[in-house]
Structure formats: structure tokens, C-alpha cells
Amino acid sequence: MIALYLSPLYLIGNIYICCRALQWLSACSDNTCRPGFRLFFIIIYAFLALSIGLAFILPHSGFQRILACIGTYWLGILLYIIIVLGAAELIRLILHFTHIIPSETLAARKTFVATGLICIAAIAFFCIWGIISAVRVRSTSYEITINKDGGKLDELNIALVADLHLGYTVGPRMMRQMVDKINTQNPDIVLIAGDIFDNDYDAMGNPEELIRILSQIHSKYGTYAVYGNHDTDEKILAGFTFPSKEKKTSDPRMDDFLQRAGIRLITEETLLIDDAFYLVGRADEERPGRGVDIRKTPQEIMDSLDSSKPVIVMEHEPKFLQEITDAGIDLHLCGHTHDGQTFPANLLCKLVWENPAGYLRKDNMQSIVTSGVGLFGPNMRVGTKSEVVHIQVHFKYSSRQTPCR
């Protein structure tokens, strides 16, 4: 629904940008004032601007996939066009009213052309940075201590990933990087904290290849996952979904995909692993999925467990950290935030989430939120990273160790 509300602004913004671009091109060369060139430019611009909408309404096909990929790149480009043009307009107004630069100089054709070139360079810088960062998966490491008896385990090596968003823009190439990063650390257990899919199962170009790649993840205790708010059977427009009276659940093919890839889905389920620690998988608060009407509270989870053993809770969104702390949970692992994914959202993310990404300690509870592997909306990352998180957990140590990246 948000996408529908924003669509008028999207259209108005694109019309403004198109007009300003034509105005700048006309200042650069008189040849660009010709009707044929202007018509050609408008058609190309309209194709880019409408690609994401066309991909949404067209049935699945090769052409529709191309449109969807173009649309995700265009969203990122448009974001930085708006930011850079907005900054340029603000600077122009400040210079106009402060008279730091004479008005005739500001209005000069050469100034307009030079300003446009600077804007284009800035937009290109952010977009190239974002595209390169988006396709490179990196490793982040933390070392923590849980002051409880881990049975026969002195330590536990966890690989945590989230927000794969398998679909139009995230496919085999990213998954191979992710699996290699996971296996390099020889983890004891692998955890996937939701948003494995990007809503539409058919958005994946080659699910069989993805199953083959993910089945190559190796660990001592196996790979476990929970679903997130995007692991549902619905179409998505510019990263946004639409309200429905019916309960939104996963496509049955998603469940089968995970099973065939050797990934165990744990929804509102508690496992005692090797009689050493508990692993709890919570349903997503926003979209708990089939078979779940009410999630257990953190306290209800702990009431059924032996609290002398380490308790690790995995869910998609890093909410209600105080409740998690008060219940006595030891380690809380999440994703969802993408750490804002692109500047300046990565700065605003800190205003929304108590732990937007990284490590946070609240009393005896430790929270780790990954910025994720895949992408939401624009196919870019600026100021954030795609990551596989490695967590070295030590049990029953008296000394506190500082987590390190």
C-alpha cells in the first residue's frame, strides 16, 4: 500500500528530473534542443522510470525479469539523483540569498553546465560504489562469552546470515560467495534469520541451482532457519507489499526449497542441541506464517527451559530487546534492518532500532544483528555491507571478552 501512496510523488519527481535533465542538455549543446533528440530522451527516461511498474504487472517471462532488474538499479540511481539534485538546489538558494556569488554568475550558462557535470559525477560515484558493495559478501566476526555451562562444549562457532532475498537480483553468484564464507570458518551450526526469499518464489531464475549451492553448507549440527516478513507468497513493488484480509504465509514451494537444501525451518520451536544449549526459533511478529496465531512471549519460552543451560533465540526482527533481557535469554540473533542498506538510511536506522546492526549488550543478554546478505529495493549498498557473521561463543568463563569485528 505504501507503494501506491508514493506513486504520485514518484511520477512527479521523475517528471521534474526529466525536465531538468533536458534543460541541462539544452545548455550543453544546441543540438539537444531538436524535437527528435528530446523525444528520444523522454522515451528512454520513461522506460527506465516505468520499468519497475511494468515488471510488477507483466507475467513472469525473460523480458519481465530484465525489466525487474533494470527497475531495481533505477531505484538506486533515482535515490541519488534526488539527493544530489536536492543538495545542489539547496546550495544554489543559499548562495542566491547570501549573495556570496553574484546573481549573474549563478544564472550563467557556464555555471549551470558545470554544476550539472558535478552532479553527474557525484551521482555516478554513489551508484558505482553502491553496485560494487552490493555484490561483494564480506565476513564479520564477534567473540562473546556466555557465563553458563555448555555441557561438553567449551565453545560454539556460529555462522549467522539473514536477508538473502533470493529473487531477481540475488542469485547463484551471491549464494556461492555466502556459502564459501560460511564453510571457510568451519562452523558448528549455521543460522539463517529470515527473509530467505523476496516474496515471489517465481522471481528466482534458477531455484534448482540455488538449492544445489545452499546444500553445500557444512556444519557439525546443521543449518536452521526462521522466516521473515518477506518469506510470503505475494508480489512486491519497489520493495513494498500490499495489505490483505487473508493471512500471509509462505509459498509451499519455499518450504520444499528449504527442505531440499538441507535447511531446517524452526518456527516457534525449541531444540536442545547436543544436550549443551537451547536453540529457539521465533515466528516473525508481523507475519508469523501458517500454524502460528500467537507467538510465545520471551518469558513463556524460558518457563519451559532449563535456565542453567545457554539459550540462543533466533528471529527476524530485533524488537523488544528489554523483554528478551528480562526473560533471561542469553543470545539474541536477528537480521531485517539491512543496517539501512544505503546512505542516508543507514544513519536514520539508528533512530529506529536499539540495535540496528552489530553487537549490543543489555545486562546478561547479548544481541547480534546482521546487516544481511541480500538487498531490499535498490540493488545497491552505500555505507553498509553484505555480510556473513561468525560468532565464537565461549561458555562458562568468568572474564568478559570484548566483541571485535
Asked if residue 120 and residue 194 are part of one domain, the reply reads no
Which tens digit of pLDDT belongs to each residue from 143-161? 999 999 999 999 999 999 9
274 lies in the same domain as 359: yes
State yes or no: pLDDT of 1 exceeds 60.
Answer: no
How does the average pLDDT of the chain come out, rounded?
A: 91
Beta strand 269-273 pairing with 277-281: antiparallel
- Tell whether 383 and 278 lie within a shared domain: yes
Q: What is the DSSP letter of 237?
A: B
Among the listed residues 67, 58, 57, the one whose alpha carbon sits nearest the alpha carbon of residue 7 = 57
Total domains in the fold of the chain: 2
The set of cell numbers assigned to 246 is 487473508
Listed residues 113, 133, 153: the one ending a domain: 133
Tell me which residue range forms the domain holding 364: 137-395
Over 70: is that where the pLDDT of 186 sits?
A: yes
- Identify the pLDDT of residue 377: 86
Is 348 found in the same domain as 257? yes
Q: Indicate if 109 and 177 belong to the same structural domain.
A: no
Q: Are residues 126 and 223 in the same domain?
A: no
Give the model confidence (pLDDT) of 103-112 as tens digits: 888 889 999 9
CATH number at residue 158: 3.60.21.10
Look up the pTM and report it: 0.90
Residues 184 and 249 in one domain: yes
Residue 68 in any domain: the answer is yes
**Judgement on whether residues 228 and 326 belong to the same structural domain of the protein:** yes
pLDDT at 392 over 90: yes
Residue 404 lies in a domain: no
**Do 264 and 300 fall into the same domain?**
yes
Question: Which residues contact residue 37 at a Cβ distance below 8 angstroms, ignoring those fewer than 6 apart?
Answer: 31
Both 246 and 307 in a single domain?
yes
User: Quick one: which of 185, 147, 222 has its CA closest to 400?
Assistant: 147
- Compute the distance between CA of residue 345 and CA of residue 277 in angstroms, rounded to an integer: 36
d(C-alpha 162, C-alpha 284), whole Å: 13
Q: What is the average pLDDT across 49-58?
A: 91
Q: Does residue 237 register a pLDDT over 90?
A: no
